[in-house]
Structure 1
Amino acid sequence: MNKLIIVLLISLVLSGCGRKGQLIPPEALVPAPISDLRVAQQGEKFLVSWSPPLRDEGGRKLGELGGFLILRRVVLPPKEDCEQCPNAYHLLKRVDLDYLQDVTRLGALYFLSDPSAATGTTYQYKALSVKADGTVSRDSNKARRKKVSPPPPPRIQVRFTPVAAVLQWEPVTLHGEGTTVGYNVYRRKAAGSHFPVPLNDTPITEPRFEDTAISADDEYVYLVRTVARIDGEIVESESSGEVTGRLLPTESEE
Structure 2
Amino acid sequence: MVPAAVALVLAIMAGCGRKAAPLPPILEVPETTTNLTAYQDGNEIVLNWAYPQLTRGGRELTDLASVEVWRLEATPGQEQASSGPGGGALRQQLMLGRGKLAARLEGESLQAATHGNSLTYRETLPSYPAGTSPPSVWYAVRSRRKDGTPSALSNIVTWQPRPVPPTPTGFTAKPEAGGIALTWEPVAGFTYVVERRASKVAPWEITSPIGIDKPSFMDATAQQGQTWWYRVRSYLNRAASLPSAELEVPYPDIYPPAAVTSFLCLPESGLVHLRWDPSPEAGVIYKIFRRQGKGSWDHLQEDFKLTEYTDNKPPAGELEYAVKAVDAAGNQSDPVYCTARTGP
Quickly name the TM-score band, shorter chain normalised. Answer: 0.7 to 0.9
- Give the aligned partner of residue 6 of structure 1: none
TM-score by length of 1: 0.77
Contact persistence 1:46–1:117 (CA under 8 A): no
Which structure dedicates a bigger proportion of its chain to strand? 2
Secondary structure of the equivalent of 2:18?
helix
Contact persistence 1:118–1:147 (CA under 8 A): no
Q: 1:133 to 1:207 in 2, by over 3 A?
A: same
Q: 1:215 to 1:112 in 2, by over 3 A?
A: same
Which range moves more in the overlay, 153-162 or 244-253? 244-253
Is residue 2:240 matched to residue 1:236?
yes
Please provide the CA RMSD for this pair. Answer: 3.1
Structure-1 separation of matches of 2:247 and 2:136: 34
- Give the aligned partner of residue 4 of structure 1: none
- Give the aligned partner of residue 100 of structure 2: 90
Secondary structure of the equivalent of 2:251?
coil
Q: 1:74 to 1:41 in 2, by over 3 A?
A: same
- Give the aligned partner of residue 111 of structure 1: 120
- State the number of aligned residues: 230
Contact persistence 1:102–1:112 (CA under 8 A): no
Q: Kindly report which structure 2 residues correspond to 1:159-198, keeping only aligned pairs within 5 A, or say none.
A: 159-161=174-176, 164-173=179-188, 179-180=189-190, 182-195=191-204, 198=206
Is residue 2:71 matched to residue 1:77?
no
Structure-1 separation of matches of 2:23 and 2:78: 48
Q: 1:76 to 1:188 in 2, by over 3 A?
A: same
Q: Kindly report which structure 2 residues correspond to 1:128-207, keeping only aligned pairs within 5 A, or say none.
A: 128-155=142-169, 156-161=171-176, 164-173=179-188, 179-180=189-190, 182-195=191-204, 198-207=206-215
Task: Give the drift of 1:74.
Answer: 0.6
Q: 1:126 to 1:165 in 2, by over 3 A?
A: same
- Give the aligned partner of residue 219 of structure 1: 227
TM-score by length of 2: 0.59
Q: Deviations over 1:2-28 (max 9, x none)?
A: xxxxxxx999522349x9x954442xx
Contact persistence 2:226–2:252 (CA under 8 A): no
Q: Deviations over 1:92-146 (max 9, x none)?
A: 22112x4236944333111111113445231100101122333211111101101
Q: Deviations over 1:53-112 (max 9, x none)?
A: 33212233323322311111111121698963776222222112x423694433311111
Q: Amino acid of the residue matched to residue 65 of structure 2? A: G
Q: Amino acid of the residue matched to residue 88 of structure 1? A: R
Structure-2 separation of matches of 1:51 and 1:221: 28
Q: Amino acid of the residue matched to residue 161 of structure 2? A: K
Q: 1:217 to 1:110 in 2, by over 3 A?
A: farther
Task: Give the drift of 1:213.
Answer: 1.9
Q: 1:105 to 1:199 in 2, by over 3 A?
A: farther
- Give the aligned partner of residue 42 of structure 1: 41
- Give the aligned partner of residue 176 of structure 1: none
Structure-2 separation of matches of 1:116 and 1:12: 66
Q: Amino acid of the residue matched to residue 142 of structure 1? A: I
Secondary structure of the equivalent of 1:194?
coil
Which ranges of structure 2 fall in alignment gaps of 5 or more residues? 1-11, 82-90, 129-133, 256-328, 332-344
Structure-1 separation of matches of 2:162 and 2:203: 24
Q: Amino acid of the residue matched to residue 108 of structure 1? A: N
Contact persistence 1:227–1:236 (CA under 8 A): yes
Contact persistence 2:174–2:181 (CA under 8 A): yes
Structure-2 separation of matches of 1:150 and 1:194: 22
Contact persistence 1:161–1:248 (CA under 8 A): no
Structure-2 separation of matches of 1:131 and 1:33: 13
Which ranges of structure 1 fall in alignment gaps of 5 or more residues? 1-8, 174-178
Structure-2 separation of matches of 1:112 and 1:168: 31
Secondary structure of the equivalent of 1:100?
helix
Q: 1:101 to 1:10 in 2, by over 3 A?
A: closer
